[in-house]
Structure 1
């Protein structure tokens, strides 16, 4: 009789009924959230689909940039240079927005403060498409943007959140995370810190071009009005986005070469469509 077992794993002890009820409630809650699309994985997938939704850039019919145009900002890569970064030549990238991790799963559109990075995804999407917006009453939609004029660079309306590109002087408490240069972010409200201007890329001809219309798809310098620092790709610093991508850190910092001219990390192209793009046939992906 000493070898007879009086207890086995099927015997219910303690708060077994409460444990079963809690498991059933947890499963029921999970299924309800799944049906409503409220699971974190579902929210993350929907937000990723939203941010990478393709966007058509405005067509520049006269070759110039106008207020109200939807554009992308491209910084060409460094394949022709010999002083490569630690990871090899810098790739061509688009200026792009990224929701901050604390807000990532609570939004159905871009809102609040958003980080800025250089994405190597070169197809214009909601992250990398922006509107040239006037900051003065006389700067109306359709007018040409000129060198030296202040303007706002905004995200798209609606799902884009109509945010404004902002920068401010670097401090010990506020700067770009890795380079420690002047930080660049997208914010909900305009201010003096959200004003930018376009400069001619060659400093020797800068004064001569002041006040002339800015051509589309040409190299320019994008300068912050208050601090006079230029928008830059930090080619030596990569940041990981919530989507798992490694992208270049973006700052406002003027990098000068030995001739006192801005380096290629400060040079951007205001990308727009050209006449004929709207009727160009879509070639299916054969992969």
Structure 2
């Protein structure tokens, strides 16, 4: 008994108790993060942003309870949290109802082609999406790869999206203008912040999506599956499942541009 007590006290003093490890993980993932302010209305390399899947009429019509804005976030399975001291790669992602910027749902826009921090990201230009989950390091990168017999999204069985600790061709993304008829015209123009865009995985040419009808379980509860799949309507135009808003901070206060009331 005394040995067990000594072991317990030693682990507690070192912060090695499971309860302490989980507490630290949770503290970092839910820590408030300051988003970047867009000075000129565009997103730039080095910006800290949220990726938001905007509320849509079709989500209200088709999926009860699945309406509302959702943000892309680190998904921690309940099993893995009990064995992890910090985040481990590969790691899952999901869409969550939290629209306040915290460790688990904020991403840094990374240059993969030698562009400098502060330069605007342009439509058609490759970029990376990195997150530390609120920790100081390491950084994990949003990635995807072609579906295979062993690699697919658990619920939809479509192309999986995940976080990895290696930058490669699997972690390159690009933004496309929402209206396909104007897409070519806007190619090379700076990508506006806080506006709907399509985000496409460069290697597989499939777009980031939240179908909203597939649930996934995480340590934080029930969340939505995020996949790479281009949903096209009868006019060959992307559906709102593929819409994303790259959210920056509201320069006037501590909120985000999503909280800002529409001008009257």
- CA offsets, 1:45-71, max 9 Å, x none? 221111010001000010000011111
- Of 219, 223, 228, the residue aligned with 2:205 is 228
- Of 20, 45, 52, the residue aligned with 1:74 is 52
- Of 217, 228, 241, the residue aligned with 1:240 is 217
Structure showing greater radius of gyration is 1
State whether structure 2 residue 227 is matched by structure 1 residue 251.
Answer: yes
Counterpart for residue 61 of structure 1? 39
How many Å apart are 1:119 and its aligned residue?
1.0
Counterpart for residue 164 of structure 2? 187
Deviates more, 1:117-126 or 1:40-49: 40-49
Structure 2: which 5+ runs fail to align?
A: 257-264
Q: Given that residues 165 and 187 in structure 1 are in contact (C-alpha distance below 8 angstroms), is that contact kept between their aligned partners in structure 2?
A: yes
Distance 2:122 2:253 in 1: 24
Counterpart for residue 161 of structure 1? 138
Deviates more, 1:214-223 or 1:106-115: 106-115
State whether structure 2 residue 218 is matched by structure 1 residue 265.
Answer: no
- CA offsets, 1:88-116, max 9 Å, x none? 34331100013455653565543422110
- CA offsets, 1:178-234, max 9 Å, x none? 111100111111111111000011111111111110000000000000111000113
Distance 2:252 2:82 in 1: 39
Counterpart for residue 40 of structure 1? 18
TM-score (norm 2): 0.89
Distance 2:205 2:189 in 1: 20
Q: Given that residues 94 and 118 in structure 1 are in contact (C-alpha distance below 8 angstroms), is that contact kept between their aligned partners in structure 2?
A: yes
Shift of the 115–104 alpha-carbon distance from structure 1 to 2, 3 Å rule, reads: same
State whether structure 2 residue 7 is matched by structure 1 residue 26.
Answer: no
Figure out how many residues of one structure are paired with residues of the other and give that number.
255
Counterpart for residue 217 of structure 1? 194
SS in 1 for 2:61: coil
TM-score (norm 1): 0.82
Shift of the 58–108 alpha-carbon distance from structure 1 to 2, 3 Å rule, reads: farther
Shift of the 81–195 alpha-carbon distance from structure 1 to 2, 3 Å rule, reads: closer
SS in 1 for 2:36: coil
Counterpart for residue 145 of structure 1? 121
* RMSD of Structure 2 on Structure 1 (CA): 2.2
Distance 2:182 2:43 in 1: 19
Distance 1:161 1:59 in 2: 24
State whether structure 2 residue 98 is matched by structure 1 residue 121.
Answer: yes
How many Å apart are 1:34 and its aligned residue?
3.0
Structure 1: which 5+ runs fail to align?
A: 1-22, 281-287
SS in 1 for 2:105: coil
How many Å apart are 1:177 and its aligned residue?
0.7
Distance 1:187 1:100 in 2: 16
State whether structure 2 residue 258 is matched by structure 1 residue 275.
Answer: no
Distance 2:228 2:99 in 1: 22
Distance 1:154 1:270 in 2: 14
Deviates more, 1:28-37 or 1:167-176: 28-37
